[in-house]
Amino acid sequence: MDVSLRDVLACVDAPTEEASLLRHLFGFLDGRPVGLGTVSVRDQIEALRGDHLHLDIILVVRDDFAANDLQDLAFGIQGARDILGQVGIGIGRVRYHEITREQADGAEVITSKREAKRLTRRFRGSSDDAMDVFMVPQYNVTSGGENKAGICAVPTCFKNHYVFNGCVIGFRHNGGPITGPQMPRLLAHELGHGLGRIHRNISGNLMESGGSGTSLTVSQGRGMRRDCFIQDGCSF
């Protein structure tokens, strides 16, 4: 069946004039990341026909980002699509916002869970139907002897009702930078928390704390798809 590009762009609330497929359909702010290979418009259209998740990505003090951070983020978004796709969840609209150094008031370096909570309390993305993901230059938090790279708590889709409502992820942590190949698992893991999944002591599972696996069980996928941030598929 033929699909109108206008209808596809409308599904992600993209402008119909001068729209960029990489920017508006895939959410890549800085072009296609090096080493990613071909991205499939057909696959993204099919993902939007099914359950999917919108993201408001909030860049905290972009001036402090390394040269390749936005490329690594794009790599992470596409990789998270592949990981969540195994349980029938796509990533749809990706909108970007920025917090300046003055606005951040030190939040570009997160050193505690309390500081992460404060960041999500002070700022919100523009879309009530999208999960907030704050990207910070540095996330220096240690818990249980492990260097953490992010945290996520999304108890409700009403963003103003809770003091902690969003994901906070660092491009770097106490153990060093989060590279492009590591970002998909990190982003998908935190989004999993945002969709209500807790840590699981299952080797190779996405929700294993400190692990590297990306598998998800049928039960985990079913629970994620019931979350209030999951959007019904678009009709086109």
3-state secondary structure of 138: strand
What is the residue-averaged pLDDT of the chain?
A: 93
User: Tens digit of pLDDT for each residue in 213-230?
Assistant: 999 999 999 999 999 999
Closest by Cα among 60, 146, 137, 65 to 103: 60
pLDDT at 16: 75
Closest by Cα among 183, 100, 199 to 149: 183
User: Tens digit of pLDDT for each residue in 102-127?
Assistant: 999 999 999 999 999 999 999 999 88
7-21, 36-50, 61-75, 165-179 — which is least confidently predicted?
Answer: 7-21
Ordered by start, the domain boundaries in the chain are 14-231
Mean local confidence (pLDDT), 84-93: 98
The residues with which 176 forms a beta bridge, in sequence order, are 173
User: Tens digit of pLDDT for each residue in 115-167?
Assistant: 999 999 999 998 889 999 999 999 999 988 888 999 998 877 776 666 678 99
From the DSSP assignment, how many helices (H) and strands (E) are in the chain?
Answer: 7, 12
The residues with which 173 forms a beta bridge, in sequence order, are 139, 176
* Distance, CA of 109 to chain centre: 19
pLDDT at 31 over 80: yes
User: Tens digit of pLDDT for each residue in 33-56?
Assistant: 888 888 999 999 999 999 999 999
Amino acid at 174: N
Fold exhibited by the domain 14-231: Collagenase (Catalytic Domain) (3.40.390)
Question: Cα-atom radius of gyration of the chain, to the nearest Å?
Answer: 17
Direct distance between the N- and C-terminal alpha carbons of the chain, in angstroms, rounded to an integer: 9
Longest dimension (CA), the chain: 54
pLDDT at 162: 67
| pTM exceeding 0.75 | yes
What would the two tokens of residue 44 be?
């993204």
